[in-house]
């Protein structure tokens, strides 16, 4: 399995898969909830998971994310910047 996660000032995007790929993206203002977690295995490798949900209860879960708390903070900063604009 191969995963790629992208955070920009306009959207977050996940592309997952090796032989066949699935892509999902959300606009920054559409994200209603952001949850972080860390399993025991992820703790050993200093990785974590991020779950993003929209108002329609659609979600993306990113697993095995290095420096996951920094990524979550980046998404929050982009949301604040969007709200301020």
* Domain map (residue ranges) of the chain: 26-84
- Find the mean pLDDT for residues 32-54: 94
SS (H, E, C) 29-54: HHEEEEEEECCHHHHHCCEEEEEEEE
Q: Which of 35, 6, 11, 28 is nearest to 79 (CA)?
A: 28
- Find the mean pLDDT for residues 62-68: 90
What value does the mean pLDDT of the chain take? Answer: 91
Give the three-class secondary structure for 4: strand
pTM for the full predicted model: 0.84
Q: What is the pLDDT of residue 40?
A: 95
pLDDT above 90 (res 49): yes
> The tokens of 31 are what?
């994200």
First to last CA, the chain: 38
């Amino acid at each position: 399995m191969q995963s790629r996660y992208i955070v920009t000032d306009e959207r977050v995007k996940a592309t997952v898969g090796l032989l066949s790929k699935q892509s999902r993206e959300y606009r920054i203002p559409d994200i209603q909830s952001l949850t972080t977690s860390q399993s025991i295995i992820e703790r050993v490798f200093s990785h974590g998971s991020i779950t993003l949900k929209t108002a329609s209860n659609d979600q993306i879960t990113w697993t095995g994310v290095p420096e996951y708390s920094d990524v979550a903070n980046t998404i929050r900063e982009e949301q604040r910047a969007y709200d301020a604009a």
